[in-house]
Amino acid sequence: MTNLENRTGSKYAMKYLPNIDVERPELRTADTRITITTRKRRVTSLRKPAVVQEALDFWSFSGAAANVVMQLGWPEVAYGVMESKVESGALMKHPWKRARTTTQYLAVAILGSEEEKTAFREAVNSAHRHVKSDERSPVKYNAFNRELQLWVAACLFVGIEDSHQLLHGLMDEEEAEGFYQSAKTLGTTLQVPEDMWPATRAEFDHYWNTACQRIVIDDTTCEFLNDLVDLKMINPLIRLPFVNLLRFLTIGSLPPLFHAQLGLEWTDDDRRRFEHLFTFVSIVNKFLPRSIRFGGSRVLMKDLQRRMKHSRDMI
């Protein structure tokens, strides 16, 4: 048995993470996930078991910028985005379009029919065909690489699970397993086959901690990601009134591993304020109708359906 098998307890990680440096220090969940101490709220405990479809509250997208930062922790993904030849989808040039595409993917993967998922997959594939390294790229990448797509999907799951627990409180093991099983389409909607997605929540934890060993943020990526944290791609007239709140939400949604690599400060007092903010939001949410809380995802699905009906570009 190799060191990596010993460390992860899973041959799965070896199969799908062949480039892991087994000499790097083992990472713990305390390094790779944000700390959440929020207890389950009574209103949540009276509901049906948690499923990902119930996690599309508009506040679930409060950590969207942080999730992009996490995805770009792998050099292949980072340089694929930074060097992208698909100008219309460039993150720093067209941030709103990029945000719409990502949030629409979440909505389609979680709520969409098989026909809608297939149509969106084909649209994403048409863009991904142009995302591949050339002779000038410092790292080799190809957007069709399933290993890279699995990492991106895993980041999306971590983000949506974290935001759900911040709003509703920590899930127990049984609830977390049910939530995880309901979320596997986050990966399988694109190129990740079902047998590649970790079978259980525990196996996902093994995968995640091991995959985080591949996070390498060089100087070029660090500058790019810090601009993203500061939302410098957004018009100052829109950004300035909200920059402090959005920066706080972004840093709070990042695991300690990213704080260290990006030189971001995050104290225990910051963490408590972060959780208190979500406690306040959860109270406000109780008085908001579902049509408002979940309206954004419904609008995105209607937009997709219109685009399909009229044969318009989807991304």
Q: Is residue 253 part of a domain?
A: yes
Q: Is residue 150 part of a domain?
A: yes
pLDDT for residue 22:
47
Q: For residue 80, what is the enclosing H or E element?
A: helix 75-82
Q: Is position 31 within any domain?
A: no
Work out the burial of residue 112: count CB atoms within 10 Å of its CB; fewer than 13 is exposed, 13-18 middle, 19 or more buried. Answer: buried
User: What's the confidence (pLDDT) of residue 286?
Assistant: 85
Joined tokens for residue 151: 């990492």
Residue in 159, 11, 134 with CA at minimum distance from that of residue 80:
134
Residue 180 in any domain: the answer is: yes
Distance in angstroms (rounded) separating the CA atoms of residues 264 and 248: 11
Pick out the chain residues at pLDDT < 50.
1-10, 12-14, 22, 44-46
DSSP calls for 257-299: HHHHHHT----HHHHHHHHHHHHHHHHHHTTS-HHHHTHHHHH
Domain that residue 189 falls in:
10-16+37-309
Residue 314 lies in a domain: no
In tens, the pLDDT along 11-42 reads 544 455 655 554 566 789 999 999 999 887 65
Q: Which residue has the tokens 């996070």?
A: 215
Residue 1 within any structural domain of the chain: no
Residue 86 confidence (pLDDT): 67
Q: Angle, to 10 degrees, between the axis of helix 64-71 and the axis of helix 146-168?
A: 150
Residue 259, burial from CB neighbour count under 10 angstroms (0-12, 13-18, 19+): middle
Query: Cβ distance 153 to 67 under 8 Å?
Result: no
Q: What is the pLDDT of residue 93?
A: 67
State the total domains in the chain. Answer: 1
| pLDDT reported for residue 238 | 65
Any domain includes 272: yes
Q: How many CA atoms lie within 13 A of 105 on its CB side?
A: 23
Q: Tell me which DSSP letter residue 83 carries.
A: T
Q: Which of these, 215, 210, 154, 212, lies nearest to 5 by C-alpha position?
A: 210
pLDDT reported for residue 34? 97
Q: Is the pTM of this model over 0.85?
A: yes
Tens digits of residue pLDDT in 223-236? 999 988 887 777 66
pLDDT at 90: 61
Q: What's the confidence (pLDDT) of residue 41?
A: 67
